[in-house]
Structure 1
Amino acid sequence: MDRRFFLAASLGSLALPALVRAQEVSQRTRWKVRASEGFDALAFLGPLAGRELYLKYYQNDAEAFAPRLSEPLRADIKALWQEAEDSGFGLLGPGLSVFFSGNDDSSMAALIESAAAPEARLLASYRGSDKWDEKDWRWFLGVAPRLKMIFEAMQGAGFAAFRAERIGDLDRRIVQLQSDLGAYDVIHWHEKLTGRTFDPEIEVVLLQFCKPHGISVQGQTFLQAADWNTPITVRVAAHEMLHPPVPMDGAAAIAALAVLARDPLIPRIVREHDPQWGYTTLEGLLNEDMAQALDQLISEALGVGRNPADRWRKADDGIHVLAGAIYGMLRDDHWIDTGGSIEDWLAAAVKAGRFAPPRLHAVAARVLERPIDALWPLPA
């Protein structure tokens, strides 16, 4: 499973004033903002598993709550997390959020009910979504009884009250963000730059424990930290709604992957980068990096973009060389002005030889402001 998680490390810089385009009040996009105890419980599995990626943000919280759970249960959370990575499922908490987004996610009790009867409560929605993966589902079914025991223990240890103590005045934050987002017509740009039709509603779920991730789940719903500001929320929405940017089993993607497989650099990035960032298959990296290239254009159009060279240097140890190259090609083609079918664009670019290593690397080097012979890894 190649999960697409936006990381906070890549979200924080300023907009590009020269690229800001005048925005009218949103005509296409309808925003819905809410919270979720259930998704927060899934997110908190990362800190409880002792993963460094999450303890950077939640070490004090983990140290306060973990002693309420038995030692065997804490050990099983750590074991499950490692098993998820080893099996190819990916990061446990974010990955589980995709499954449980198919049913009630409002409480620990709802998670327990779904884990007790996943085929009755979760399968139909998951199978009908664009996230469906039979291998992942089989793995999930095998661990569902263990998850139910973990959720029951967290419920018995008072997770709901523990979360409520830390989350502050979330209702006020929801109202404010809902109001602020009304100025950003993200769906208009999605449709223009992909040639596809999107549902006008984007649902944003604010969480206490999900840093550093922004997580795309079923439908046009994504999860993010409650204290991320409006520009970050817009950028996450611009990104997460794009997956997949083209059908990954379609002719255009297959042709691109065939060329990229012969590239001396891109497959090496897939093989050798730190697996905590995800994108451990070539298909997963193409999916992610096309989405990042498009979301960069959308963010710039909405006035919340970042300098692309800075963005892709700071994100995921600089692995998104392909994103920089695709973005550069789209800029060269004035895609923000013309728009159209991104799948047709990809097919034409591959056919014209623009994905051949010398041309691809040259565009990436220009955008990323790196030497063409030292695109990755970044210097220490």
Structure 2
Amino acid sequence: MDRRLFLSAALALPAAPLLARLPSPPRTRWQVGGSEGYDAIAFLGALSGGELYRRFYAAEADAFAANLPPAVREDIPNLAAEAESSSFGLLWPMLANTLSSARVTTLDSVIALLADPMTRLRPSYAANPSGSEERWDWFAQRAARLLQVFTAMRDADFAALREATLGAGFENRIAEVSRALGDYDVVRWQEKLTGRTFDPVINIVLLAFSRPHAAKMAGQTFVQAADYNTATTVRIAAHEMLHPPFPMDGPAAKAALSVLERDALIVRIVREHDPKWGYTTLEGMLNEDVCQALDQLISEALGVARNPANRWRKADDGIHVLAAGLYGLLRQDGWTETGGDIERWIAQAAADGRLAPEVLHPVAAKVLERPVDALWPIA
């Protein structure tokens, strides 16, 4: 399981012009709230010392860490390093997803899950389609250490830190986000462009300490920073709920992977890019980049899209060449207009040779506005 299978780095950019709308009534029902428990998990990023997080929360992390027992303060970076060097992945997003199989509300709810994971979490985790036995084993072996961390965070009054960071207007912010999202029928577009059926309810959890990630939880719930603008929230929802776009152990995925594993450029990107971005397996890259290609089409249809060339040249050091190629192929096929079964489409594209470098690379080059022989790395 790729470490950032459920992640997207969200940039709060202006919305693009409205290109298309689907007929009423809307399929999508938005539910917006907050969670002290998820915020405590997210704060592990800054407490771990990772620069990816400290550029947002260094002052808060330094002040709060001074109130933690030295053993706990020292173990958080160790846990993060152990997660990133294993198949578990980035610590806080994957831990949040693991615990999301149960109900995560307060910090006390996190502590209760960690105190008795076999009883309180294991049964529901088994139903989490994004879970794996390998991830569970990693988590179970460290649950006691994590329990010590979150207990210490509670005793150091994390609740007060979160309340001060979010401010007195947080409830108003929840209501504001709820109102703004009402016009965006993400689910209808996802169903059209994938051929799948989605639950109409999308749950958004607004957090104080989640930057730079938005992360998918179990079901149709995702977490994001409370101050992201509406366009960013819509783009996150359009992306996160698509994971996985089709079964990654199914025949369509296997057919695509058998073609892509012979693509020297894509294989080199997976192998040589900075691992802090995740996507360190070809399967993980395929999963992510199919979702990115589809979410770009959905965002364009809803009028909140970023320019695709700028998006994929800038995101994650430009590694999503595959996403640009898939997007270009889908545009060639008029996928926004026709929709259809994306699993069947990827299988057909693999069979027809459209995923081979001689087809995929020129299409990606046109989308990225780059020479076909200089798609990556971005100079």
The answer, yes or no, to whether TM exceeds 0.5 is: yes
Deviation at 1:373, TM superposition (A): 0.5
Task: Indicate if the aligned counterparts of 2:98 and 2:131 stay in contact, CA closer than 8 A.
Answer: no
Q: How far apart are the structure 2 equivalents of 1:158 and 1:16?
A: 42
Deviation at 1:25, TM superposition (A): 5.7
Q: Bigger shift: 120-129 or 197-206?
A: 120-129
Q: What is the identity, as a one-letter code, of the residue corresponding to 2:339? A: G
Corresponding residue for 1:211? Answer: 211
Corresponding residue for 2:80? Answer: 81
Corresponding residue for 1:292? Answer: 292
Q: How far apart are the structure 1 equivalents of 2:25 and 2:275?
A: 38
Q: How far apart are the structure 1 equivalents of 2:166 and 2:13?
A: 25
- Listed one character per residue, the Cα deviations across residues 135-176 of structure 1 (whole Å, up to 9, x for unaligned) are 000010000000000011000000011111111121101111
Corresponding residue for 2:154? Answer: 155
Task: Indicate if the aligned counterparts of 1:33 and 1:178 stay in contact, CA closer than 8 A.
Answer: yes
User: Relative to 1, partners in 2 of residues 1:92 and 1:245: Cα closer, same or farther, differing over 3 Å?
Assistant: same
Q: How far apart are the structure 2 equivalents of 1:374 and 1:103?
A: 46
- Listed one character per residue, the Cα deviations across residues 201-253 of structure 1 (whole Å, up to 9, x for unaligned) are 00000000000000001000000000001110000000000000111111111
Task: Indicate if the aligned counterparts of 1:15 and 1:300 stay in contact, CA closer than 8 A.
Answer: no
1:58 aligns with 2:57: yes
Corresponding residue for 2:145? Answer: 146
Deviation at 1:26, TM superposition (A): 5.4
Deviation at 1:56, TM superposition (A): 0.7
Corresponding residue for 1:326? Answer: 326
Corresponding residue for 1:133? Answer: 132
Q: How far apart are the structure 1 equivalents of 2:331 and 2:322?
A: 14
Task: Indicate if the aligned counterparts of 1:102 and 1:218 stay in contact, CA closer than 8 A.
Answer: yes
Q: What is the identity, as a one-letter code, of the residue corresponding to 2:248? A: M
Task: Indicate if the aligned counterparts of 2:12 and 2:228 stay in contact, CA closer than 8 A.
Answer: no
Task: Indicate if the aligned counterparts of 2:308 and 2:368 stay in contact, CA closer than 8 A.
Answer: yes
Q: Secondary structure at the match of 2:264?
A: coil
Corresponding residue for 1:47? Answer: 46
Corresponding residue for 1:309? Answer: 309
The Cα RMSD (Å) is 1.1
Deviation at 1:72, TM superposition (A): 1.6
Task: Indicate if the aligned counterparts of 1:25 and 1:183 stay in contact, CA closer than 8 A.
Answer: no
Task: Indicate if the aligned counterparts of 2:270 and 2:281 stay in contact, CA closer than 8 A.
Answer: yes
Taking only the aligned residue pairs, the percentage that are identical comes to 57
Q: How far apart are the structure 1 equivalents of 2:20 and 2:298?
A: 10
Task: Indicate if the aligned counterparts of 1:26 and 1:182 stay in contact, CA closer than 8 A.
Answer: no
Q: How high is the TM-score relative to the length of structure 1? A: 0.97
Q: What is the identity, as a one-letter code, of the residue corresponding to 1:164? A: E
Q: How far apart are the structure 1 equivalents of 2:313 and 2:87?
A: 26
Task: Indicate if the aligned counterparts of 1:28 and 1:188 stay in contact, CA closer than 8 A.
Answer: yes
Q: Secondary structure at the match of 2:214?
A: strand
Corresponding residue for 2:118? Answer: 119
Q: How far apart are the structure 1 equivalents of 2:86 and 2:66?
A: 28
Q: What is the identity, as a one-letter code, of the residue corresponding to 1:304? A: V
Q: How far apart are the structure 2 equivalents of 1:337 and 1:123?
A: 43
Corresponding residue for 2:97? Answer: 98
1:186-201 aligned at under 5 Å gives the runs 186-201=186-201
Q: Secondary structure at the match of 2:66?
A: helix
Question: Which 4+ runs in 1 deviate beyond 4 A?
Answer: 23-26
Deviation at 1:23, TM superposition (A): 5.6
Q: Bigger shift: 187-196 or 26-35?
A: 26-35
Deviation at 1:108, TM superposition (A): 1.3
User: For this pair of structures, how many residues does the alignment match?
Assistant: 376
Task: Indicate if the aligned counterparts of 1:126 and 1:218 stay in contact, CA closer than 8 A.
Answer: no
